[in-house]
Amino acid sequence: MFITFEGPDGSGKSTQCRLLAEHLQSLGHNVLLTREPGGTEISNQVRQILMDMKNKSMFPATEFLLFSSARAQLVREKIKPHLAGGGVVISDRYFDSSLAYQGYGHGLPLNSIRAVTALATDSLIPDLTLLLDIDAERGLRRRQSNGAEWNRLDDYTLAFHQRVRQGYMEMVKAEPARWRVLNADQPVDILQEEVREVVAAFMAGRSQKSDS
Ligand code: TMP
**Segment 91-99 mean pLDDT:** 98
Categorize the per-residue pLDDT at 152 as very low, low, confident or very high, splitting at 50, 70 and 90: confident
Strand 128-133: give its sheet, edge to edge.
Answer: 31-35, 88-92, 2-6, 128-133, 179-183
Mutate to test the pocket of ligand 1, among 101, 121, 131, 143 (most ligand atoms within 8 A of CB): 101
Percentage, residues of the chain above pLDDT 90: 86
Q: Which atom of ligand 1 is closest in space to residue 143's alpha carbon?
A: 3
Categorize the per-residue pLDDT at 66 as very low, low, confident or very high, splitting at 50, 70 and 90: very high
1-29 pLDDT tens trace: 999 999 998 899 999 999 999 999 999 99
Q: How many CB atoms lie within 10 A of CB 182?
A: 20
> Considering the entire predicted model, what is its pTM?
0.96
Q: Is the CB of 71 under 6 A from ligand 1?
A: no
Rounded-to-integer distance, Cα 118 and Cα 95, Å: 9
Q: Is the CB of 73 under 6 A from ligand 1?
A: no
For ligand 1, atom 4: residue with the closest CA: 9
